[in-house]
A and B are shown apart, each in its own frame.
Chain A
């Protein structure tokens, strides 16, 4: 049996495909989503219109979407950083938890320093903790060749259990001491709350600005530094890297660390700009780490694009929250995001290959 179509590797990948294909993927995902809606008896146009209104239209909703987008921008960067080297870090979720843990500790402990310094300290704490947590995965991969997909995924559960234990099952530093029999997380001090700027009456969280800055920094690292050059060669051909004297093992650990630092900064941003405490349940519900993979995939691992794709996903999330109700299926946004991921991955194939019709004549079979 031979399929009527076959894929042929493109020799050259036209530059415009880099944004045309993701756009087509997005549209394809919306069409597939529309089919799902239509089958379940909803009017797709109406639903999409409501999503647009509640996610993107208007200053209020846009401000809210910026807040939801911020952690996703960081987890998107986390995935993009690692995937670019072919390291499949799916541990953004756990690394973000660890960032949240560290930043919350800073936010509770230092109660009399200026907010500016506080933001820096929380960010650095979040990045270090997330980076170290991911660094373990990198170390295992570099030293023993352990599959990073599995270790990073397992460490997500580990982090989730740790956070739950700290807040709900122990009298730890992160649990509100006055919460008594109904445990709740302990809030950071007033001064530790991160600024939100008002620009044209749109609330712009400082963390989102950090995400944009990080997008550019990572782009710069990968394009212009020796380290980025080495990462690129390892991704292209590990054999050539070894031949050229590039130290693959330490690069793996560093890239994982950088990747985890991005997620960790996302955790810190979530505490500083949004929740104000370490919230295991809330974080688990949000699933920022996993959505970050969708963000990076749709952004084609471009760090700057990741930040803006995160805005799209943040808006979708926001619309999903505010529309939840009897006439709006709660799983819809998740389904849409899943469809976007699938379409983005399928689009990736179209960038690398072109589709040709298979017109080879059937062959005579030997006697």
Chain B
């Protein structure tokens, strides 16, 4: 590692409608270093790296590559400047060979491809960096780890000097991850720089030379890995001693009455990997249970299995002591489980449908709304006007499609429907993400009001402050397991930060 700067990004600002993803971020990458970019989801890591690799353009700020100011209008521009990105979701053609995928999109002007030459070059690269993969194999035959190596080879083949890896270990087994780390170090020794995006503290400590921590779209600091500890990184990542007000509850939780009981539930994700390992917990009447954790550690599957969208491979769930028919959304709805999903516009709502139709999305089968299988349009409209008024939804009329509403109003429509069903359990997944301050306040008030009325709330959020200020109890999830269960009053955010990042609890408590 030298002190020569390969990439310098300064004052990067990137705004998306309603959110500032990067708010004056500085990042400096030296030649030959493995530089970790650490932060919670939504901290701005992906936006920053997408700017660097040419997918987005910064609204403000300067990118310098090897000392020269650069602006990329496409990933190809970035690659020409020596910057390549390995995305979390692979971009490979399954029926093509490794070599074919490596040269895909790379045109040297000739019509034909010299297979042998490409294969030889790919082989050479794969030997040099210990990226074991057969250049003639077809992608569909390869494991996920091998496919990732192909993605890395693709970038190396194009001569990238700076490689960005977006959460590369998320898809890997521990052994594959270890071999990836060896590869990254080999690249560093050759003078290439690696930007390693992660939120797992252990990995960051194991593989990086330096770490830049982002929080809330800003750079919190850059430290030498050898001079820091998991503990320090954790507190940098989640922020420390920001004073927050615990919400004062009108009616305290009644933990003697259980409204939701989850027992030994195991679930596989869309790729068939086990993503929840025998999860068990209960929620009391009027209790808000916060689920803390970095996204992708099983929270989505947890919400889905309780609301009946996902079929578990094992376990039992009961609502008000009545066992729930699992994997049936209709059963979950009728037994009083309300669900505010993360993906509001496409899961929680039918975006192209009107406000009134969306407000009837879950009770259109009820006698108030339909009779003899015919819809009572007038009842639908009346229900909508009542709810729009009660929940203060800003919409021109009830027939406006919800996709035309602002983010805050979209969420209000969703909450109006879910709360008005008078549920006994409410699952709220990132209910305030992407909303403006005013809307966040409203949503939080509604959640607390629901709990005061006796609803058991499962609040899944990556915003630790939110959980700390709203929840009565906190569950910390890591890799599909509940690794910690603690009361929210007086909770130690460092301990939560550490357990979220995968450090074990006992060490953290010490």
Contacts and interface: CB of A to CB of B under 8 A. Distances in A.
Given A236-B353, A239-B347, A243-B347, A366 B70 contact: yes
B72 A242 contact: no
A232 B351 CA distance: 11
B329 A365 contact: no
A224 B375 contact: yes
Contacts of B353: 232-233, 236
Interface stretch (B74-82, B86-94, B432-440): B74-82
Contacts of A364: 71
B404 to A, nearest CB: 6
A366 B80 contact: yes
A232 B401 CA distance: 13
Contacts of B501: none
A239 B374 contact: no
Given A237-B350, A364-B71, A224 B374 contact: yes
Contact of A236 (B65, B72, B343, B351): B351
B308 A245 contact: yes
Contact of B65 (A226, A233, A366): A366
Interface stretch (B133-141, B237-245, B273-281, B361-369): B361-369
B328 A229 contact: no
A280 B100 CA distance: 49
B357 interface: yes
B374 A237 contact: no
Contacts of B350: 232-233, 236-237, 240-241
A216 B130 CA distance: 68
Given A239-B346, A240-B348, A226 B70 contact: no
B510 interface: no
Of listed A240, A241, A366, residue having the most chain B CB within 10 A: A366
Interface in A211-250: 224-229, 232-233, 236-237, 239-245, 247
Interface string B464-500: 0000000000000000000000000000000000000
A12 interface: yes
B375 A363 contact: no
Of listed A233, A236, A241, A243, residue having the most chain B CB within 10 A: A243
B348 A229 contact: no
A367 interface: yes
B240 to A, nearest CB: 38
Nearest to B334: A245
Interface string B336-351: 0001010100111111
B interface, size bucket: 35 or more
A11 interface: yes
A366 B76 CA distance: 10
A224 B330 CA distance: 21
A243 B375 contact: no
B104 to A, nearest CB: 19
Contacts of B349: 237, 240
A243 B404 contact: no
B373 A225 contact: yes
Given A226-B365, A227-B373, A245-B362, A12 B351 contact: no
A243 B357 contact: no
Contact of B339 (A226, A243, A367): A243
Contacts of A233: 350, 353, 357, 361
A11 B361 contact: no
Contacts of B375: 224-226, 228-229
Interface in A235-283: 236-237, 239-245, 247
B308 A239 contact: no
Given A224-B374, A237-B351, 12 more contacts: A226-B364, A226-B370, A226-B373, A228-B375, A237-B350, A240-B361, A243-B309, A243-B347, A244-B333, A244-B361, A365-B73, A367-B70
B346 A363 contact: no
Contacts of B65: 366-367
A323 to B, nearest CB: 44
Contact of B328 (A237, A245, A363, A366): A245
B314 to A, nearest CB: 21
B346 A240 contact: yes
A240 B78 CA distance: 38
B348 A243 contact: yes
Contact of B329 (A228, A232, A244): A244
A365 B54 CA distance: 11
Given A226-B374, A227-B373, A366-B65, A245 B351 contact: no
Interface string B444-459: 0000000000000000
A344 B266 CA distance: 50
A225 B309 contact: no
Contacts of B343: 239
Contacts of A224: 374-375, 377
Contacts of B331: 245
A367 B72 CA distance: 9
14 contacts: A12-B404, A226-B373, A228-B375, A233-B357, A237-B347, A239-B343, A243-B339, A243-B341, A243-B347, A244-B361, A245-B330, A363-B73, A365-B77, A367-B65
Contacts of B68: 367
Given A237-B351, A242-B329, A363 B341 contact: no
B71 A244 contact: no
Contacts of B333: 244-245
A240 B404 contact: no
Contacts of B330: 245, 247
Interface string B304-343: 0001110000000000000000001111110000010101
Interface in A1-60: 11-12
Nearest to B65: A366
Contacts of A236: 350-353
A239 B350 CA distance: 9
Interface in A319-352: none
B374 A225 contact: yes
A366 B80 CA distance: 8
A75 to B, nearest CB: 27
Nearest to B400: A12
A244 B351 contact: no
A236 B78 CA distance: 37
Contacts of A363: 71, 73
A245 B349 CA distance: 13
A343 to B, nearest CB: 25
Nearest to A245: B330
Of listed B72, B329, B333, residue having the most chain A CB within 10 A: B329
Contacts of B341: 243
A247 B333 CA distance: 14
Contacts of A232: 350, 353, 357
A242 B309 contact: yes
Interface in A60-107: none
A243 B307 contact: yes
B379 to A, nearest CB: 12
A242 B364 CA distance: 14
A239 B309 CA distance: 9
A226 to B, nearest CB: 5
B324 to A, nearest CB: 13
Contacts of A226: 364-365, 370, 373-375
